[in-house]
Structure 1
Amino acid sequence: MNLVGQVPSLGNLQDLSILNLEENNLGDNSTMDLEFLKYLTNCSKLHKFSISYNNFGGHLPNSIGNLSTELKQLYMGGNQISGKIPAELGSVVGLILLTMESNCFEGTIPTTFGKLKNMQRLHLEENKLSGDIPPFIGNLSQLYDLELDHNMFQGIIPPSLGNCQNLQYLDLSHNKLRGTIPVEVLNLFSLSILLNLSHNSLSGTLPREVSMLKNIEELDVSENHLSGDIPREIGECISLEYIHLQRNSFNGTIPSSLASLKGLRYLDLSRNQLSGSIPDGMQNISFLEYLNVSFNMLEGEVPTNGVFGNATQIEVIGNKKLCGGISHLHLPPCPIKGRKHAKQHKFRLIAVIVSVVSFILILSFIITIYMMRKRNQKRSFDSPTIDQLAKVSYQELHVGTDGFSDRNMIGSGSFGSVYRGNIVSEDNVVAVKVLNLHKKGAHKSFVVECNALKNIRHRNLVRVLTCCSSTNYKGQEFKALVFEYMKNGSLEQWLHPETLNANPPTTLNLGHRLNIIIDVASALHYLHRECEQLILHCDLKPSNVLLDDDMVAHVSDFGIARLVSTISGTSNKNTSTIGIKGTVGYAPSEYGMGSEVSTYGDMYSFGILMLEMLTGRRPTDELFKDGQNLHNFVTISFPCNLIKILDPHLLPRAEDGAREDGNHEILLPTVEECLVSLFRIGLFCSLESPKERMNIVDVTRELTTIQKVFLDGLEQNF
C-alpha cells in the first residue's frame, strides 16, 4: 500500500491490538501530523504500534505517555519528528522495543526511560540528541540491542553499561564521546555481534581486557585518539571477523597473535604509527579478504601468500621501508644480506647441490601429478569448490533482514527460505536465499550453486550478487546466496492472484505473456546452448520466474540444477547426489521412473509452463483426475476450440485482440493464429516421449516469428 494524508482518529477501536502503518507516505511534515496519537490512549489492548518510515513531522504529544501499558513494541523511525522526546513516554513501562531512529529529535534522553526495565531493543540513532549518555541506561538489564550512533552525545561512556549482561549489539559511533574505553564494557561476555565506538574522541589505550570479547564478530574503534600498543590479547577474541582500528595513534608492532583469529575476514590498521614488520603468520589466515596497513611506519619484507597474494585485497602504501611482496604492489626488492667472502664458495656448492636435487624432485613431482591427473581426471569434477565470489557476513544479512523476520520472508522451498533484505555493501534491496542445512545435500548444493552461477550473466537470469558461508550466532553452519530483488514478484502471483492472496495492479494480457514466454525461452537457450558447461534447470515453474520493474522475466533457482560437464566425449554429471527432479506436475514422467535429468526434461517443464500461462490452470488443478492432465486437456480443444480453454483473463481484453459477437467473444484472426502457434509449441514440448519434444533452438526461432506476427497484426487492427 501507499497510504497518504493524515491519520484519522482511531480511538473507537478499543479492541485494537496491532496497528501497522509503516512504509507509507502518511503525514505532510506538519505540526498536526501526530494529533491522532492522543486518541489512541483509548485502545487499551494495543501491544504493537508502528508509524515508521512515513512523512510524519511535528512534535510527539505528551499524551503519548498514556498509551496502553500493554504496548510492547513501538516503531517511529524514519520520519521527520522533531523536538524533545517526551518524558511521559517513560510511563509506557511495558515497552520491550522502541525505535525512534532517523528523525530530528533533540535534547537529552529523558531520565524517565530508567523505568523501562523490560526494554530489550532501543534505537535512537541518527537524530540530534545531545548531553551525556545517562548512567541509568545500565539499569535496563534486559537490553540486547542499543543503538545511539550518529547523534551529538558527549561526555564519557558510562561504565554502568557493564550491567547490561544481555547486550549483544552496541553502537555508540559518530558522537562526541571522550575519555577512555571502560573496562566494564569490554567485560560484557554477551557482546556477540558488534561493538562500535568509532568516530568519537576517545583517548588512552585499547585495554587488554578486550580479550573478554570471546564471542564478538565485529570490533570498531576507528577514528578516535587511542594510542599505545595494540594488545596481543586481541588474539583471544576467537570469533572476530571484522576489526577496525584505523585512524588512531597506535604504536608498537602488529601483534603476531592476530594470526590466531582463523575466521578473520577484514582488518584495517591504516593511518596509525605502527612499526616493525608484518607478521608472517598473517598469510595463514585463510578467510582474510581485506588487509589495510597503509600509512604506518612498517618495514621489512611483505609476505606473498594468503591475502598478500592478491593486490586488490591489501593496502600497504605509505610505508616507505616495506619491500618485496608480489609484483603488483610495486614495492622495491628487499636487499640481499651480505655474506662473508670466506663462506661464498661453500654456499655456492650447497646451492648447486640443492638446485640439482630440487630439479630432480620437481621433475618427479611434475610427472607424478601428470599421471595422477590423467588417471583421476573424472574425480576432479566431483569436488566443486567456491572460487572468487565476493562474500558478505552473517551479521550483514542478519541486520539487513531484521533478523530473518517472517515479515521479510518472500518465499520458501525444499532447500531453504528467501528473505527481502537490505545490504550496505550492495546499497540496494536484495533477495537472500538461506539454505536449510538440515536437508540432506544442502551443503553440497550450495557449492554447486556458487560455482554454476559464478560467471553466468544473462538478462533473463536472476543475477547472484554475493554469498555468505559462515556460522550464525548459535555457532551453527550458515550458508546463503544474495540475489537481485525483483519488485514485481513471481509469475505464479500474477497467474493465480486469487489463490495466493496476491494483488497485482493488473492481470497479464496476451502481449505480456508472450514477452514472458520469450524471456524464459531465452534464458533456457542460454543455459542449454551458450554456457561453457551445460546447465540444467530441473525445476522450471511459475514461482521460479520473477518479474522486474519493467515486467521483464528472470529465471531463478537454476543454480541447484545439475551441472553437466563434457569430458572426453562423455557426460559427467556434477549432481552431488542432490536428487532434485522437479516439482509434481512440471517434472516429466521419465524422472519418476529413474531417468537422468536432461534438456528434454527442461523442455517438458517449459511446455507445461506455456500451457499454464495460456489456460490459467495449474498442472495440479483439481480438474485433472483419473489420468487426465494439462497436456491432454489442451489437446482435446486444439486447435478449433481454444477459446473454451483460454485463461478467462485473456478473453475480454480488446487490446489482446478480442471483439464481441453477440454474447460471445471471438478472437481476431492474427491473435487466433498466434495462440494456435503458442499452444502447438506448448503441446510439442510436453509430449510424453522425451525425444519427440521440441528443442530450445527451434522454440526460440518460432517464438520470434510469432511475436513479429502478433505485433504486426495489432498495428493493422488498431
Structure 2
Amino acid sequence: MSFVVVIVTLVLNSMHFLPASQYLIAETDRLALLAFKNKISDPLGALSSWNESSHCSNWTGITCSRRHPSRVAVLELTSMSLRGPISPYIGNLSFLQDLAMSLNHFTGEITQELGRLFRLQVLRLEDNTLTVKIPKNITLCKNLQVIELGGNKLVGGIPTELGSLSKLQRLALWRNPLGGTIPVSLSNLSALHSLILRSNHLHGYIPSELGQLSRLKHFQVADNDLSGTIPTQLFNISSISAIAVTSNELHESIPNNIGITLPNLETFIIGMNKFSGTLPTSISNLSRLSALDVSSNQFTGPVPPNLGLSFVNLEKNNLGGAEVDDLSFFDSLANCSHMEKLSITYNNLSGKLPGSIANLSITLTELYMGENNIFGDIPTGIENLVSLNGLGMESNLLNGSIPVSIGKLPNLIRRYNSAKPWQLWQTE
C-alpha cells in the first residue's frame, strides 16, 4: 500500500465514511463545540471527553439528531460547575433543538447568535450569572416551546417581541432584576401553560388581556411591585392550577364564584397584599386545592368550613368577630387526613377552643392560633397530634393549666410565634 493510499484511508476513517460535504458540515458542529469549551473553565473535568481524538457524538452532554446523525440536536450540560461566557459559536449548531445549561456559573450576556438556531425548541439557562438584557432576536427561534432564564441577573424589561413565539408553552424569568411592566403582547401566546415572573422588579398592572391564555395552568408574579387587581378574566381560565401573587400591592376582593370558575385550582397564594372582603365560601368546593395562603391582607368575616387542605395560612387579617363562635370551622377539619400546616394567628377570632382540634390530622406539623380572642381550656386530646413540631397559642384568653399531654408530643420544638413564610410559589 502506497503512502498516499494510507493517508486517504486514515482520513476516511476519521470522517466515519461521510461524504465530503457532510463531513465539512459535521466538522462545523465539532469546531463550534471546541470553541465553546475553550472560552470556559471546567474545574470538574466534565468535558474531558471533548477532544480531538473522538467524534463529538461520543462527547459528554451531546446527543445527535436521529435523522441527521452527524449533527448535534441536544446540548445538555446541567449542573457541571462550568464557568465563563457562552461562546457565540453556539450559533453554528444549526440543528440544535435543546440547549440546557442550567445550574452552572455562566457569565456575561445571552449571546445574540442564539437567534440563528431556527430549530431550537428548549432554552434552559436558569441558575447562572448571566447579565445584560434578554436579546430580542431570540424571537427568531420560532419553534421555541420552553424559555427558562430564571435565577440570573438579567436587566431591562421583558421584550414585547416574545409575544410572537406562537409555540411557546413555558416562559420562566423568575428571580432576575427585570423591570418594566408585563407586556400585553404575552396574551398572544396561545399555547402558553406556565408564566413564571416571580421575584423581579415588575410594576404596573397585570394585563387583563392575559385572560385570553386559555391553556394557562401556572401564573406566578409573586414578589414584584405590581398594583391594581387580579383581572377578573384570569379567574375564568378553568385550566389554571396555580396562582401566586404574594408580596405585591394588589387589592380588591376575591370573586365569590372562584370555587366554580377555577375547578382545577391546586395552589392559591396571595399573601402580603391589600386584598379585602370576605373569603368566598365557594373555596370549600375546590376539591383539588391543597395550598391556601391569604396571610397579611385585610380579609374580614368568618373562616370558610371544609378547608381540608395541606397548607392553610390565614394569619394577619381581620377574620372573625361577626359570629358567636368563630372557631366552628375546626369541626369540619376532622376529616382532613393530609393537613400539615394551619395558621390563624393575628386575627379577631373569638370562641371557645374546641375539642375537635384533637381530631386534626396526625400529619399536622404546625398549628398557630396566637393573637386572637380564644378562651377555654386546652383540650388534653392535643396529644393526638403526634407530628406537631410548632404550636402557638400566645396572647389569647385561655384559662386552666397547660395539659401534661402536651409534654407527650415527641416532635414539639416551637411553642409560640406565627408560621414561617410559606413561599409555596417557589416550588414551581
TM-score with structure 2 setting the length: 0.66
| Post-superposition offset of 1:231 | 2.3
| Superposition deviation, residue 322 in structure 1 | 3.5
Change (3 A) 1:122 1:312: closer
Residue aligning to 1:108:
133
What is the match of residue 143 of structure 1?
168
Specify the SS of the correspondent of 1:63. Answer: helix
- How far the C-alpha of 1:49 sits from its partner, in A, is 1.2
**CA-CA distance at 1:104 after TM superposition:** 0.5
Does residue 323 of the first structure (1) align with residue 318 of the second (2)? no
Q: What's 1:244 paired with?
A: 269
Summarize the Cα distance change of 1:268–1:325 in structure 2 as closer, same or farther, 3 Å threshold.
farther
Can you list the C-alpha shifts for 1:291-331, whole angstroms capped at 9, x where unaligned?
Answer: 11111011131212233788964211101344345356576
Aligned AA (1:226): L
Taking the aligned partners of 2:104 and 2:374, their CA distance within structure 1 comes to 57
Q: Which residue of 1 aligns with 2:410?
A: none
> Structure 1 stretches of 5 or more lacking a match?
23-42, 336-387, 391-718
Q: Distance in 1 between matches of 2:96 and 2:49?
A: 20
* Residue 49 (structure 1) aligned with residue 75 (structure 2): yes
Partner of 1:515: none
* Contact 2:272/2:296 (8 A) holds in 1: yes
Alignment partner, residue 315 of structure 2: 294
Aligned match of 1:92: 117
The one-letter code sitting in structure 2 at the alignment partner of 1:53 is S
Match of 1:306 among 322, 332, 343: 332
Give 1:208 deviation, angstroms: 1.4
Aligned partner of 2:177 in structure 1 is: 152
Change (3 A) 1:307 1:160: farther
Residue 120 of structure 1: which of 123, 134, 145 is its match?
145
2:364 maps to none
Q: Which amino acid aligns with 2:311?
A: Y
**Residue 261 of structure 1 aligns to which amino acid in structure 2?**
L
Quote the residue 1:415 is aligned against. none
Of 229, 241, 244, which residue of structure 2 is paired with 1:217?
241
Aligned residue for 2:287, secondary structure, equals coil
- Could you say what secondary structure the match of 1:129 adopts? coil
Contact 2:50–2:59 under 8 Å retained in 1: no
Q: Rate the CA distance shift 1:5–1:114 in 2: closer, same or farther, 3 A.
A: closer
> SS of 1:49's equivalent?
strand
Q: Deviations over 1:166-217 (max 9, x none)?
A: 112221101011111112223312112x211111111101121122221122
Cα distance in 1, alignment partners of residues 159 and 386 from structure 2: 44
Corresponding residue for 2:4?
Answer: none
- In structure 2, the residue corresponding to 1:184 is in which secondary structure? helix
What is the alpha-carbon distance in structure 2 between the residues aligned to residue 129 and residue 80 of structure 1? 14
Question: How many residues are matched?
Answer: 310
Distance 1:7 1:291, change over 3 A: same
Taking the TM superposition and a 5 Å limit, the aligned residue runs for 1:384-533 are: none
SS of residue paired to 1:90: helix
After superposition, the Cα gap between the structure-2 partners of 1:79 and 1:228, relative to the gap in structure 1 and judged at 3 Å, is same
**Does structure 1 residue 231 correspond to structure 2 residue 263?**
no
The answer to whether 1:260 aligns with 2:285 is yes
Q: Which has the larger radius of gyration?
A: 1
Distance across 1 between alignment mates of 2:179 and 2:142? 24
* Aligned position for 2:98: 73
Q: 1:20 to 1:140 in 2, by over 3 A?
A: farther
Judged with a 3 Å threshold, the aligned counterparts in structure 2 of structure 1 residues 10 and 116 are, in CA distance, closer, same or farther, namely farther
- Between the aligned partners of 1:163 and 1:172, the Cα distance in structure 2 is 17
Q: Is the 8 A contact 2:266 2:289 kept in 1?
A: yes
Partner Cα separation in structure 1 for residue 162 and residue 59 of structure 2:
28
The 1:130–1:18 alpha-carbon spacing in structure 2 relative to 1, beyond 3 Å, is farther
Deviations 1:224-273 (Å, cap 9, x if unpaired)?
A: 11011122243210000111011111011112221221221111111001
Structure-2 residue corresponding to 1:487? none
Q: Match for 2:277: what amino acid? A: G
Shift of 1:19: 4.9
Work out the CA distance in 1 between the residues paired with 2:59 and 2:264: 39
CA distance in 1, matches of 2:164, 2:58: 29
Match of 1:59 in 2: 85
Q: Which residues of structure 2 form unaligned runs of 5+?
A: 1-42, 63-68, 358-368, 377-384, 388-428
Counterpart position of 2:159? 134
Q: Deviations over 1:517-567 (max 9, x none)?
A: xxxxxxxxxxxxxxxxxxxxxxxxxxxxxxxxxxxxxxxxxxxxxxxxxxx
Structure 1 324/184 Cα, relative in aligned 2: closer, same or farther at 3 Å? farther
State how far apart, in whole Å, the 1-side matches of 2:287 and 2:116 are: 47
Distance 2:291 2:106 in 1: 37
Cα distance, 1:148–1:18 mapped onto 2, change above 3 Å: farther
2:294 corresponds to: 269
| TM superposition shift of 1:163 | 1.3
Structure ranking higher on relative contact order (CA contacts 8 Å, 6+ apart):
2
Does the 8 Å CA contact 2:295/2:316 hold for their aligned counterparts?
A: yes
- 8 Å CA contact 1:52–1:75 kept in 2: the answer is yes
1:574-593 to 2 correspondences below 5 Å: none
CA distances 1:46-69 after superposition (whole Å, capped 9, x unpaired): 1111222112111112222222x2
1:21 correspondence with 2:46: no
- Provide the secondary structure at the position in 1 that maps to 2:83: coil
Larger helix share, 1 or 2: 1
Matching residue of 2:411: none
Identity of aligned pairs, percent?
30
Distance 1:389 1:209 in 2: 44
SS in 1 for 2:91: helix
Instruction: Note closer, same or farther for the CA distance 1:62–1:186 as it changes in structure 2 (3 Å cut).
Output: same
Q: 1:137 to 1:85 in 2, by over 3 A?
A: same
Q: Give the deviation of 1:13 after TM superposition.
A: 6.2
SS in 1 for 2:131: strand
Query: Cα gap change, 1:312/1:3 in structure 2, threshold over 3 Å: closer, same or farther?
Result: closer
Distance 1:19 1:233, change over 3 A: farther
Q: Is the 8 A contact 1:147 1:172 kept in 2?
A: yes
* 3-state SS of 1:128 partner: coil
What are the equivalent positions in structure 2 for 1:550-699 lying under 5 Å apart? none
* AA matched with 1:320: N
SS in 1 for 2:228: coil
> For the residues of structure 2 that align with 1:191 and 1:141, how far apart are their CA atoms?
14
SS of residue paired to 1:127: coil
Q: Give the Å deviation of 1:87.
A: 0.7
- Between the aligned partners of 2:46 and 2:215, the Cα distance in structure 1 is 44
Change (3 A) 1:298 1:5: closer
Counterpart amino acid of 1:114? T
Q: 1:289·1:307 contact (CA, 8 Å) conserved in 2?
A: no
Q: Are residue 82 (structure 1) and residue 107 (structure 2) matched?
A: yes
Q: State the alpha-carbon separation in 1 of the partners of residues 128 and 332 from structure 2.
A: 44
